[in-house]
Amino acid sequence: MFEYDMPLYRPPSEAYSLIFQATLGCTHNRCAFCVAYQSKRFRVRPEKELFREIDEAAREMPDTRRVFLADGDAMALAPQRMLRILGRLYDKFPDLERVTSYASPQNLLHHSVKDMQAVHKAGMSMLYFGLESGDDEVLRRIDKGATCDEMVEACKRAHQAGFDLSITVILGAAGPKGSKRHAIATAKALNRIRPKYASALTLMTAPRTPSYEEAYGDPDWRMLDQVEILKECRVLIDNMQADGIIFRSNHASNYLALKGDLQKDKLRLLETIDKTLSDPDSPLLRPEYLRAL
């Protein structure tokens, strides 16, 4: 039907969504852990080209209910352009229930709340946001491009506009020396934001220039082992005090898949981690060969 500009990425929960690349690449594209768009220069897709794909897809898949707007930075689009895209999508797909995309702190801080409210009202229902860490030292080392306070403010603006948020954090990002500090600070940031969803991924390095070790800039940094990752995850959950967050660690990068509502399921999640830590051969642990980015 149409060809994607590869590589193409989407959140795990968008596995059954129809994907349109409204933008290519990422405007920031400097995060030390990310290999997604190193081969791409950021650009906005021509509107006529994108609309032609939407029209073709609507003829082939008129019953589409979910759409994800790629690449990593669709919310970088000017609000008026996004309104036109959303209008086209909901016009061509009569059964469309939701449209989602990634969003960066830079996007959310740049747009006015009023403009983002208009985008939400037009049908953009949820944004995927990479917090990564609540520790400013970690954020500086990984070159996230925003402080914790700036990211909390960005998320609060998104909430004001009406968006649901699905936030990801990265276990192991600080190495062993900063593990506890990273976990506690990240939990505190999530408490301040109170997203609908919070997901923990585990750092997995892949070939990039510079490497994560070089970019992070700490000679004592190393990857956490399985036990250290589980302990860091436990500290994270134990320090999450906000109510109503759906927590997940079921991404393929994780050693232990967890899912529960905080605070209702907090004790069960902690007990699951403790039980797994006490049994190195637990069937709940994902084998190394099955882990993937």
**What does 228-249 look like in DSSP terms, one character per residue?**
HHHHHHHHHHHT---SSEEEE-
Q: What is the DSSP letter of 251?
A: S
Q: Is residue 5 part of a domain?
A: no
- Does the pLDDT value for residue 119 go beyond 80? yes
pTM as predicted = 0.96
pLDDT of residue 196: 98
| Bridge partners for 171 per DSSP | 202
DSSP, res 63: T
Structure tokens at 155: 């998320």
Per the CB < 8 A criterion, the answer to whether 198 and 248 are in contact is yes
Q: Looking at residue 1, what is its pLDDT?
A: 64
* Residue 2 falls inside a structural domain: no
273, 291, 166: which is closest to 229 by C-alpha? 273
Is residue 17 assigned to a domain?
yes
Q: Is the pLDDT of residue 293 over 80?
A: no
User: Is 150 a member of any domain?
Assistant: yes
* CATH at residue 85: 3.80.30.20
Q: Give pLDDT tens digits for 238-287.
A: 999 999 999 999 899 999 999 999 999 999 999 999 999 999 999 999 98
Q: Which helix (H) or strand (E) holds 202?
A: strand 197-202
Q: Is residue 84 part of a domain?
A: yes
* For residue 151, pLDDT beyond 80: yes
Rg of the chain, C-alpha, whole Å: 19
Residue 50 falls within a domain, yes or no?
Answer: yes
Mean pLDDT of 6-27: 95
pLDDT tens digits along 198-228: 999 999 988 888 899 999 999 989 999 999 9
Q: Could you tell me what percent of the chain has a pLDDT over 90?
A: 90
pLDDT reported for residue 165: 98
The two beta strands, 18-21 and 66-70, are parallel
Number of domains, the chain: 1
The boundaries of the domain holding residue 146 are 12-290
What pLDDT score was predicted for residue 179? 98
Q: Are 100 and 128 in contact (CB under 8 A)?
A: yes
1 lies in a domain? no
Query: Within a domain: residue 7?
Result: no
Mean pLDDT of the chain: 96
Residue with tokens 């707007």: 69
